[in-house]
Amino acid sequence: MDLPLMIDRLRSYVEDETRTGDATALNAFADRLVHRYTELGATARRVPSPTGDHVVADFPGQGALSDAAPVLFLAHHDTVWPIGQLAGAMPWRLQDGVIHGPGVFDMKGGLVILETALAHLVGNGADHRPVQVIVVADEEVGSPSARELVTTESAGVVAAFGLEPPHPNGDLKTSRWGSTRIRITVTGREAHAALDPESGISAIDELVDQLIAVRSVVARHEHVLCNVGTLEGGGRTNVVAGSAWADIGFRFMDPETESAVLEAVTALPALRAGAVVEVKVMSNRPAWQPSAATEDLLAKVVAAGESIGQEVGGAAASGAADTNLTGWLGIPTLDGLGPVGKGAHAVHEQAVAASLAERAALVAAIITTI
């Protein structure tokens, strides 16, 4: 594996900034991926989506396994970072063997790892199953436009692997908590805050009380994470706010808890006469729970790692990703084949440079042995 070439490729990907929802930037990057995958022998295409197109690529198998069921790799090309982050708080730099920059860890490093492994296989002619690749454009907001695509395209695959970051020690991820985003929207009634406050209904006050009620629901259940990520409402201090909304992210260890919490939250009544409260599910990825099938797959990956002198481990994870969908469907699934590093969604995001080549070698070994 040519590490300097991988680092150069990663830099070019990071410098092509792709914030979730920026369709123009995401589609331009998708074109790059389609071109690259086609160069490597795949049939690749963009799958249209209003907020940014997804990419699907099908690589033929080789030798005795050319007609076997395919192995699936899941990735995404969106990041949480706004355009301009690279020129501001997070410039690209390689220092003491560590790469810094927006998206190096989550997850453009994973994209480089995958294409390097595929190029290696094309070059050495090793027998392997067909390989299917899905690169999603809105993973960072729960893949609302890609869920059906992942579900449909994963039918019939023998196993699924994610290119998300691994655990801090490099272990792969063998299960994930479920993730659901909801939006609570409150409609009140505007009025002059000093001259006629009694005729108004404060949407902000109602929303604050709704969020307290949500916390009360969450407190009744174990193994639930809840984060209010966005708040917006009102306009002026002399006007009773007529509208407000909040986006909330939940994490659930199991589907039973998810159902109970969401049922309770969506049933919360308005606390002020005349206020209207609406709750909408924005995205959902169900819990991917531990299974014997995944343990068997991990054993095969451990063996693949041993064949190239790498020690591979696995453990459960609390964060969600598109592998939730394949794991939930019962497909043997592992995630965390991205580079070792830290700082996902933080300004100190970084990846260990040497791990790019190590992970590419592991991915190539997986493809030729699964």
**pLDDT, tens digit (0-9, with 9 covering 90-100), for 253-274:** 998 999 999 999 999 999 999 9
What is the per-residue pLDDT for 294? 96
Homologous superfamily in CATH for domain 3-177+287-369: Zn peptidases (3.40.630.10)
Residue spans per domain, the chain: 3-177+287-369, 178-285
Q: Are strands 131-136 and 54-59 parallel, antiparallel or unpaired?
A: antiparallel
| Residue 367 confidence class, pLDDT cut points 50, 70, 90 | very high
Angstrom distance (rounded) from CA 31 to CA 37: 10
Helical H segments across 15-158, by residue range: 23-39, 108-124, 147-153
Helix axes 353-369, 292-307, angle to 10 degrees: 110
Segment 275-294 mean pLDDT: 95
Do residues 129 and 64 touch, judged by C-beta distance below 8 A? no
Structure tokens at 356: 């790019």
- Look over the chain and give the mean of its residue pLDDT values, rounded to a whole number: 96
What is the per-residue pLDDT for 125? 83
Instruction: Label each residue of 233-270 as H, E or C.
Output: ECCCCCECCCEEEEEEEEEECCHHHHHHHHHHHHCCCC
What is the per-residue pLDDT for 1? 85
Angstrom distance (rounded) from CA 101 to CA 15: 9
**pLDDT, tens digit (0-9, with 9 covering 90-100), for 118-131:** 999 988 888 999 99
What is the per-residue pLDDT for 244? 98
**pLDDT, tens digit (0-9, with 9 covering 90-100), for 143-177:** 999 999 999 999 999 999 999 999 999 999 999 99
70: pLDDT strictly greater than 90? yes
**pLDDT, tens digit (0-9, with 9 covering 90-100), for 319-345:** 899 999 999 999 999 999 999 999 999
**pLDDT, tens digit (0-9, with 9 covering 90-100), for 217-254:** 999 999 899 999 999 999 999 999 999 999 999 999 99
Could you tell me the CA-to-CA distances from 266 to 247, 256, 316 in Å, in that order? 13, 16, 29
What is the per-residue pLDDT for 239? 98
Segment 37-66 mean pLDDT: 96
Angstrom distance (rounded) from CA 91 to CA 70: 38
What is the per-residue pLDDT for 123? 83
User: Closest by alpha carbon to 111, among 76, 136, 79?
Assistant: 76
| Residue 307 confidence class, pLDDT cut points 50, 70, 90 | very high
Just list the catalytic residues: 78, 139
What CATH architecture is 178-285?
2-Layer Sandwich (3.30)
What is the percent of the chain where pLDDT is above 90? Answer: 97
Sheet harboring 243-252: ordered strands across?
Answer: 224-233, 243-252, 178-187, 276-285
